[in-house]
Amino acid sequence: MSVRVRFAPSPTGFPHVGNIRTALFDWLLARNMGGTFILRVEDTDRSREVEGAREGIKEALRWLGMDWDEGPDVGGPFAPYNQSERLSIYQPLYQQLLAQGDAYKCFCTSERLAGLRKSQEEAKKPTMYDRHCRQLSDAPEGQPFVIRLKMPLEGKTVLHDYLRGDVEFDNALVDDPVLIKSDGFPTYHFAAMVDDHLMEITHVIRAEEWISSAPKHIRLYEAFGWQQPIWVHPSIILGPDRKRLSKRHGATEALAFRDEGVLPDALVNFLALCGWSPGDDREVMTRRELIEAFSLDGIQVSPAIFDHEKLKWMNGVYIRQMPLPVFGAACRPYLGEVDAPDEYIEAVVALEQERVRTLSEIKEATSFFFDEAFEYDEKGVEKWFRQGDPRPILEAMVRRLAAQEHWSADGLAPIADAVAEELGLEKRAPVIHTARVAISGRTGGPGLFDMMTVMGKDRVLRRIHRTLETHSASAP
């Protein structure tokens, strides 16, 4: 069997991690099996379409390297791939259902339906259409209508799910879904199933929340006499608190992670492991390794946990694997406007490659390298400037640094020992910490001597002089 899978988002919003995880499972299956990955835009809900979302969907997939074989901007044998352009394809098929007696016109007004829902809620009954128009003999002329599918009134409908086995539904509790809206546009229940059949989709991978709609879709396949695809419903994605993933957990839109400085390969790796396992303890996997290991059998039905901290850890692993020139180029958009030579910028970001977890962290991590008006960390000032007089240390440093000819980390390191010995200090730690705060304003960061090497002699001396002028007066 030639595998054909589709990612079919709606442009009613920008793709979030749940959408993209579904797309990724589709893409990995297609690439593993030598199959076809299709992008189809389900844009029949025109009133809810969000400006820019259509392009955002394609942009997110491209950023993540998930190329599609058929769909918008690519074409294919089943073009067009925007459902709003396929109305002429749907029309004869819903007319066929009406002629067969498998669907009917419903003339109920929105007011009647709202009243029905309210009365059912007050009576604490399931809210569903009461099939008022199902046996209607006299159809009102000129009145708007929708087309509903006739669901069986008795018995069971069974979903054969690849992951979950057989799931049964009581037909008496399943609504007659609307297939065609009063504006002539199809609903998801109709268009998606028709397109899946016509586009020869072999596997429908979709979120767990679609399980409750499965009997309606199975009934539609049965009404047309079509063979059903393989249904696959992975688990939902939860936050670390095991509640439904939402904005309160942090970024959820795929492109927001790009803005945050998450690398595409890291996000792909992380999302693949949200509800799927390669069958061993591997966590950091290349794209090729993911493709080779992927199978539907590895998908789990227990809820997946999306932990932003774990993603940042994994992204840090990928950052540390980047060649320095590539890392430097990737950092540039996140640094903002900095007035410095390229070689200085590359040397600065190189000091933070082992420390940052996202590219967006690079600006804060390196700001003191570029800004002479940096602020001093208050805790550092309190400990190293106020609890003792920093002047002897800083003055000794200035004297020795001014005479230093070999300006490198190896050449600078002995100076700290020499200053400590000169001042009768048991350890060199006070020298290093005092100098660090004086030069960077911070108590942590890259190695002091590596930092000084990159900054250069003039900048280091200028900053120590500034500290002597502005902070040593606060010492006892």
CA 49 to chain centre: 20
Set 156, 247, 379, 427: catalytic member? 247
Identify the CA nearest to 442 among candidates 339, 352, 354. 352
**Ramachandran assignment for 116, one of left (phi > 0), alpha (psi -120 to 50 degrees), beta (any other):** alpha
Question: What is the mean predicted confidence (pLDDT) over 402-427?
Answer: 95
Q: How confident is the model at residue 139 (pLDDT cuts 50, 70, 90)?
A: confident
| Confidence check: pLDDT of 456 > 70 | yes
Give kind and range of the element (H or E) at residue 105: strand 103-106
- Three-state DSSP class for residue 88: helix
CA 296 to chain centre: 21
**% of the chain exceeding 90 in pLDDT:** 90
DSSP conformation letters of 316-338: HHHHHTS-HHHHHHHHHHHH-S-
Identify the CA nearest to 419 among candidates 386, 380, 464. 464
Give kind and range of the element (H or E) at residue 413: helix 409-422
- Per-residue pLDDT at 250: 66
- Per-residue pLDDT at 476: 42
- Per-residue pLDDT at 137: 78
Question: What is the mean predicted confidence (pLDDT) over 18-40?
Answer: 97
Identify the CA nearest to 374 among candidates 429, 428, 451, 430. 451
CB 299 within 8 A of CB 234: yes
Active site (annotated) includes residue 216:
no
User: Directed axis angle between helix 448-455 and helix 342-352, to 10°?
Assistant: 170
Q: Each residue of 230-286: pLDDT tens digit?
A: 999 999 999 888 888 766 666 689 999 999 999 999 999 999 999 999 999 999 999
CB 179 within 8 A of CB 186: yes
Residues paired with residue 70 on neighbouring β-strands, in sequence order:
38
Alpha-carbon distance of 319 to 355, in angstroms, equals 9
Residue indicated by tokens 């595998």: 3
- pTM (two decimals): 0.92
Alpha-carbon distance of 11 to 49, in angstroms, equals 5
Alpha-carbon distance of 8 to 353, in angstroms, equals 38
